Chain A
Amino acid sequence: ETGVTQSPTHLIKTRGQQVTLRCSSQSGHNTVSWYQQALGQGPQFIFQYYREEENGRGNFPPRFSGLQFPNYSSELNVNALELDDSALYLCASRAGQGRAGTEAFFGQGTRLTVV
């Protein structure tokens, strides 16, 4: 068991709405990343937070935003949902930025369906 938990597990939203996904990192991990996995594809990097600051971002528009809290839990917010946002959203936590933090522990994901 990885210790990374995500909520909710499934979610259905209407196009144009906003959604917040939550992630609780593994104990002691100060780095969290979010990935989008479309059906039949590999996960795509959205962004990463390290000690509450965003320190990396993939090719996603600004309507994808996030937060990391002092207890290292995290949120992914998506505004103005589009049909193509339907995907499995994965949270991954790591122990740090150096070699010790190379292994990412993934949560079970949130399946978002936009209708």
Chain B
Amino acid sequence: AQSVTQLDSQVPVFEEAPVELRCNYSSSVSVYLFWYVQYPNQGLQLLLKYLSGSTLVKGINGFEAEFNKSQTSFHLRKPSVHISDTAEYFCAALTSGTYKYIFGTGTRLKVLA
């Protein structure tokens, strides 16, 4: 069965420091991978997606992620975070030919001044 694992439930980091949020997926078939951000009392906003091609994907707000097929990972990175990046981040997978997103349990990023 397909699954998505986010290894860290909370990540505190100081402003202007780099951050990496980890995501691993489990699937025997090709998948599309996504990172969404959720601010308090709001829905999900797409940060970036991997469908095919280059394994390094750049998204909005300075975020990027790298697809690693051998390690079945899709970690999210940002070289320098801002206070406004404080939010919940969800990794998700969509198997080609299916219809539903499988989400991880989320990582709460807290940026400290």
A interface residues with partner B (beta carbon < 8 Å)? 2, 4, 6, 31, 33, 35, 40-45, 48, 50, 55-56, 58, 90, 92, 97, 99, 102-109, 111
Q: Judge whether A99 and B51 touch: CB under 8 Å.
A: yes
Apart from A40-B105, A41-B106, A106-B45: 16 A-B pairs, beta carbons within 8 A: A33-B100, A42-B4, A42-B92, A42-B103, A42-B104, A43-B101, A44-B103, A50-B99, A55-B99, A56-B98, A56-B99, A56-B100, A92-B44, A97-B99, A107-B43, A108-B43
Among candidates A42, A45, A103, A108, residue contacting B100 with C-beta atoms closer than 8 Å: A45
**Contact (Cβ within 8 A) A42 B106:** yes
Which B residues are CB-close (under 8 A) to A107?
43
- Give the shortest distance, in Å, between B88 (CB) and chain A (any CB): 9
User: Within the complex, what minimum Cβ distance (angstroms) separates B28 from chain A?
Assistant: 19
Task: Count how many chain B residues have C-beta atoms less than 8 Å from C-beta atoms of the other chain.
Answer: 24
